[in-house]
Structures are given as structure tokens and as C-alpha cells.
């Protein structure tokens, strides 16, 4: 691992325009590590960027430069439309400005139609010289950013920081520690190993990440090494009291009440390892449960019911329409089954029935599917 740390710091010292990527899973540990790196790069007068596909919850907004996280890659620069002429030759290109759109016409040299698979979209003027991916076991698990812009990852060197045992070492630099609690611990250890002085801003980010990864040092991921690193971060002025207050004592009271109601309604079918809960439209309004709050509470329930294979949350947001979140290791299958869309590691779907009827239908469907 020390050799990988040496290579990592050699590369980030050379980099002037690094891109820090938070995968769709966007757990808070990865976000904290991203902000620690961003703040570190700024102390070196570099020009870093952070990109995340999913909106972060605002609990971490007390960390410096939290507002610098970008959520749409299109905001980071202009784009080129690229046609791969090694597969098909182009005879002519024309364009026309129509009402509210630009139309581009391509004519192939042969008589065969243009193959859309030969067209790609890449940043026209990006000057990134390093991509740092935090917490993705392989490139596809980065999620939407990888899916929409794969060429970016092939054209620029990648530093892969991760703790998952299944990591497939996809980077030019692979800083992977499967015994670490998370990315923040790996990054903090790397700073200390290289004897790099970090300021309070960076220490706060890393300490917060470790607190989140270990659920305040209470999970089995908390090792003596974790505690030793946390103590060193406090020596570097990480503000333990402030961080605990912001993470746990100032959480929105309505969120805690909403979480409690959902927890009180959890039902289980042990034979198919299914757990589910639900919220009425009145409760959604009463507790101001927007999409971000629902995702936050769903993730909290997931941490508690981490042994269940499938977790389902249903809520009614309007008459005769129920929305759902479902999480299972076979995400693509459930995405197709529910005709849903990805929300991080879960699938969001809509069923056009009121809540109780929707619950009966979706539970029956899952019983049939999970038994097969």
C-alpha cells in the first residue's frame, strides 16, 4: 500500500487540474474525502473540480467548499460531438439553426445509414490531467458520470481510491485498503504516512468522513488503526464537538420524527428476506418529506436492516399514485421489473394506485419474483 501512496502523491503533486469524482452511491464518507482533497489542492494553488451525479444531502454543508460540488458535468465546460471515422467515413456535414434547436446533418460516403454508435460527446476544452475516483469498485459502479462520459475515463489517468474487496484495480494508481473503514481513513493515513501537514479544514473533512463511515466509531469497521488515525486528526485540530453537534444533534426534528414513523411500520417476510415500510400522503406533507429527505431516511433504514436482501419504501404523493424505492443487489433486474430509474444504489419507481392497493400489488409481485 505504501508504494501506491507514493505513486498517488507523486501524481497529485504533478496535477494542476484534477477532477474528483463521487460515484452515484455518494455516501458521506466519499463526499468528505472529496472535500478534503479539494481543500488540499487549493492550498497548493491548483484548480480542482468535484463532480457528483446525485445531489448531496445538506448535513455536510458545514464543511469548507461544500457548495463547490457540481452535479451536472455539462457545467464544467463545452462539449464536442465526435464521430469515429475509423468505423464509417463522412462525406459531408451541414447544420441548420431551427426554432429552439440546432440540427446537424451527417452524410456517409457509403450508402449505408449513419450509425449512431459512432457518435460520442466529450468535453471540448477540458484541461483535466488526473481523475480521482472515490469509493467505486469498478468503472461502471461510478454510475451516471461513467455511463454518460466513458471517453473521459479512457483519455485521462485515473487514481482509484477504494476499500471494497471486489475492487478490480482499474486505475493507473490503485490505492485500495479493504481493511479501512472508508475513503476518509485511507486518505488520512496517506497524509500522515507522507508526513504532510494538514490544516483544520482538511482535518475536519476527514474526521467527519470517518465518523460517518463508522457511525460514530460504533460499527465493526472501527479498528485500532481507525481510532489512531482519528486521534491524529484531532491533534491536527479536527473539531470533534462541532462535528458531532452538526452530524447528530442538529438533525432536522421533522426528519427524525419521519424516520421514527417509518421504522415503527417496518414489516418483514423472512423467507424471501424482504423488509418494507410506507408513508401516507398526509405524513409526506406533515414532515416536509421531499425527495432528498426520503433518500436520507431510506439510507438510514438500510443501515439498520443491512441483513435483509430487499428493502422497500412506499409513499403516496398524490391521489391514486404511489412512489417507491427498492434496493437489492440485482439492481438492473429490479429497474426493469418496476420500469424505474436509479437513485444511487436504489431504484425509484411509480405505480398508479393509492398506497394500500399499491402495497398489496408490489408485495405480491416481489413474493412471486423473489421465490423464483
Residues 176 and 310 in one domain: no
pLDDT on residue 96: 84
172 pLDDT band, cuts 50/70/90, is very high
Of 226, 204, 223, nearest in space to 31 by CA: 204
Q: In this structure, are 66 and 150 located in the same domain?
A: yes
> Are 115 and 136 in the same domain?
no
| 86/71 same-domain check | no
**148 and 183 housed in the same domain:** yes
pLDDT on residue 160: 97
360: Cα separation from own chain's centroid: 31
Quickly state the pLDDT bin for 134 (edges 50, 70, 90): very high
**Residue-level pLDDT at 57:** 66
Domain boundary among 200, 227, 245: 245
Range of the domain at 329: 253-371
Give the CATH number of the domain where residue 335 resides: 3.10.310.30
Q: Is the pTM here over 0.85, yes or no?
A: no
Q: Are 173 and 4 in contact (CB under 8 A)?
A: yes
- Mean of the pLDDT values across residues 292-304? 87
Residue 214 confidence (pLDDT) above 70 = yes
Of 190, 224, 245, the one marking the end of a domain is 245
What CATH number does residue 231 fall under? Answer: 3.90.1640.10
* Same domain, residue pair 131 and 186: yes
pLDDT in tens, 33-83: 999 999 999 999 999 999 997 777 678 999 999 999 988 655 544 566 788
CA angle 332–334–339, rounded 5-degree value: 95
Q: Are residues 307 and 358 in the same domain?
A: yes
Last residue of a domain, one of 191, 211, 245: 245
Specify the DSSP element, H or E, that contains 28. Answer: helix 28-43
**Amino acid 369: pLDDT:** 84
Are 217 and 330 in a shared domain?
A: no
Q: Tell me: do 290 and 223 sit in the same domain.
A: no
Number of domain units in the chain: 3
Same-domain status, 153 and 96: no
Task: Give pLDDT tens digits for 97-130.
Answer: 877 788 888 888 877 788 888 887 765 556 899 9
Whether residues 232 and 83 fall in one domain = no
Contact status, residue 213 vs residue 184, Cβ threshold 8 Å = yes
Which residues are registered as beta bridge partners of 95?
104
Q: Which three cell numbers stand for residue 238?
A: 479536527
Does residue 265 sit in the same domain as residue 336? yes
Give me the mean pLDDT over the 196-221 stretch.
92
Burial of 370 (0-12, 13-18, 19+ CB in 10 A): middle
Amino acid at each position: 500500500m505504501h508504494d501506491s501512496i507514493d505513486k498517488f502523491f507523486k501524481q497529485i503533486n504533478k496535477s494542476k487540474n484534477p477532477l474528483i469524482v463521487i460515484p452515484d452511491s455518494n455516501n458521506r464518507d466519499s463526499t468528505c474525502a472529496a472535500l478534503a482533497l479539494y481543500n488540499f489542492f487549493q492550498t497548493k494553488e491548483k484548480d480542482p473540480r468535484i463532480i457528483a451525479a446525485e445531489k448531496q444531502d445538506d448535513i455536510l454543508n458545514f464543511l469548507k467548499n461544500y457548495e463547490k460540488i457540481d452535479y451536472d458535468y455539462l457545467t464544467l465546460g463545452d462539449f464536442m460531438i465526435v464521430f469515429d471515422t475509423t468505423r464509417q467515413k463522412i462525406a459531408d456535414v451541414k447544420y441548420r439553426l431551427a426554432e429552439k434547436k440546432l440540427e446537424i446533418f451527417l452524410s456517409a460516403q457509403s450508402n449505408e445509414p449513419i450509425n449512431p454508435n459512432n457518435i460520442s460527446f466529450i468535453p471540448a476544452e477540458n484541461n483535466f490531467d488526473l481523475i480521482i475516483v472515490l469509493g467505486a469498485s469498478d468503472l461502471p459502479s461510478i454510475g451516471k458520470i461513467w455511463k454518460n462520459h466513458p471517453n473521459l475515463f479512457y483519455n485521462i489517468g485515473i487514481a482509484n481510491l477504494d476499500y471494497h474487496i471486489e475492487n478490480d484495480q482499474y486505475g493507473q494508481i490503485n490505492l485500495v485498503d479493504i481493511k479501512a473503514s472508508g475513503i476518509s481513513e485511507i486518505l488520512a493515513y496517506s497524509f500522515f504516512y507522507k508526513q504532510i501537514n494538514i490544516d483544520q479544514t482538511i482535518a475536519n473533512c476527514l474526521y467527519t468522513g470517518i465518523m460517518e463511515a463508522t457511525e460514530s466509531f460504533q460499527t465493526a469497521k472501527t479498528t485500532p488503526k481507525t481510532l489512531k488515525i482519528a486521534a491524529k486528526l484531532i491533534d491536527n485540530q479536527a473539531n470533534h464537538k462541532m462535528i458531532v453537534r452538526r452530524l447528530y444533534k442538529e438533525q432536522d426534528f421533522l426528519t427524525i420524527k419521519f424516520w421514527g414513523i417509518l421504522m415503527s411500520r417496518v414489516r418483514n417476510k423472512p423467507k424471501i428476506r424482504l423488509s418494507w415500510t410506507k408513508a401516507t400522503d398526509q405524513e409526506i406533507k406533515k414532515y416536509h418529506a421531499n425527495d432528498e429527505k426520503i433518500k436520507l431516511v431510506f439510507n438510514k433504514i438500510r443501515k439498520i436492516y443491512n441483513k435483509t436482501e430487499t428493502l422497500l419504501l412506499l409513499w403516496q404523493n398524490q391521489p391514486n399514485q404511489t412512489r417507491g424505492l427498492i434496493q437489492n443487489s440485482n439492481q438492473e433486474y429490479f429497474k426493469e421489473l418496476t420500469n424505474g430509474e436509479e437513485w444511487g444504489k436504489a431504484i425509484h419507481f411509480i405505480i398508479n394506485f393509492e398506497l394500500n392497493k399499491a402495497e398489496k400489488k408490489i408485495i405480491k409481485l416481489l413474493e412471486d419474483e423473489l421465490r423464483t
